[in-house]
């Protein structure tokens, strides 16, 4: 399969967006049964993480800690005003992989895949590559 793009539209400066069902939909549409799904965020002020999908306060706690590590108003050299977002992107990372078994993403019960916006609102994308071993 060629790489596919999942469009993501963030609504605020910092926001975690659950993209699990979008990725599952792509796997369903492609008819992939077993393989590995690579996810890549081609942005310098966003990231991707896999974490708690049930309690939204976990996402808020992660955002709070990241903001404590990289406050928006430090005396950064990067003068675009979004140095904190670049730093958060590097801390969180821009790539993940998830196995696919019997047509389903192999995730823990409480896990969800989140696109992490750090300099929104913006139109973003997640690049997806699936390697099938069927």
Which residues in this chain contact Zn ion in the complex, by CB under 5 A? Answer: 80, 82
What is the closest distance, in whole angstroms, from the C-beta atom of residue 56 to Zn ion in the complex? 28
Closest residue to Zn ion using C-beta atoms: 80
Rg (C-alpha) for the chain, rounded Å, is 16
What is the closest distance, in whole angstroms, from the C-beta atom of residue 83 to Zn ion in the complex? 7
What is the closest distance, in whole angstroms, from the C-beta atom of residue 92 to Zn ion in the complex? 16
Between residues 28 and 80, which has the closer beta carbon with respect to Zn ion? 80
Task: Please give the Cα distance from 122 to 118 (Å, whole number).
Answer: 10
DSSP characters over 91-122: HH-SEEEEEEETTEE---TTEEEEEEESS-S-
Between residues 86 and 96, which has the closer beta carbon with respect to Zn ion? 86
């Amino acid at each position: 399969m060629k790489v596919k793009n999942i469009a993501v539209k963030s609504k605020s400066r910092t926001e975690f967006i659950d993209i699990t069902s979008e990725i599952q939909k792509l796997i369903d549409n492609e008819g992939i049964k077993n393989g590995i799904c690579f996810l890549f965020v081609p942005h310098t002020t966003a990231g991707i993480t896999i974490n708690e999908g049930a309690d939204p306060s976990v996402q808020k706690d992660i955002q709070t800690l990241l903001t404590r590590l990289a406050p928006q108003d430090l005396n950064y050299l990067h003068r675009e005003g979004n140095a904190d977002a670049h730093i958060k992107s590097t801390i969180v990372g821009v790539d993940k992989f998830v196995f696919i078994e019997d047509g389903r993403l192999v995730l823990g019960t409480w896990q969800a895949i989140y696109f992490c916006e750090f300099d929104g609102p913006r139109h973003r994308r997640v690049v997806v590559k699936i390697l099938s071993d069927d």
